[in-house]
A = this chain, B = another copy of it.
Amino acid sequence: MVTYQADAWTALADPTRRTIFGRVAERPRPVGELARELPVSRPAVSQHLKVLKKAGLVIDQPAGNRRVYRVDPDGLAALRAQLDRFWTAALANYKAIVEQSTEEDS
């Protein structure tokens, strides 16, 4: 058994998985279509999708014989929020430095 982590950052760390996620973001796709566009085997794609699903980044939905994967907006939003925290923190820090140097000038 392959037991992967369930972290969104870890999930998007792998280039292949990032490509898969990009494809799914453009348009919901079944597994086979993704595998045909990628230089890896179909089982590899299945495993990648399993990781992305566990990380809350994609949702799978059975459609007859096939299984269509689409982006989970909530997971993507959560990741965006986390990145924004870094952004605002860094920004606030730079702002403080600018204000300090302005005071020094006066």
Contacts and interface: CB of A to CB of B under 8 A. Distances in A.
Interface string A74-98: 0010011001111101110110000
Contact-residue size bin, chain A (C-beta under 8 Å from the other chain) = 20 to 34
B93 A83 contact: no
Number of copies: 2
A2 interface: no
Contacts of A89: 22, 25-26
A41 interface: no
Given A13-B9, A18-B9, A94 B80 contact: no
A69 interface: no
Interface of A: 7, 9-10, 12-13, 15, 18, 21-22, 25-28, 70-71, 73, 76, 79-80, 83-87, 89-91, 93-94
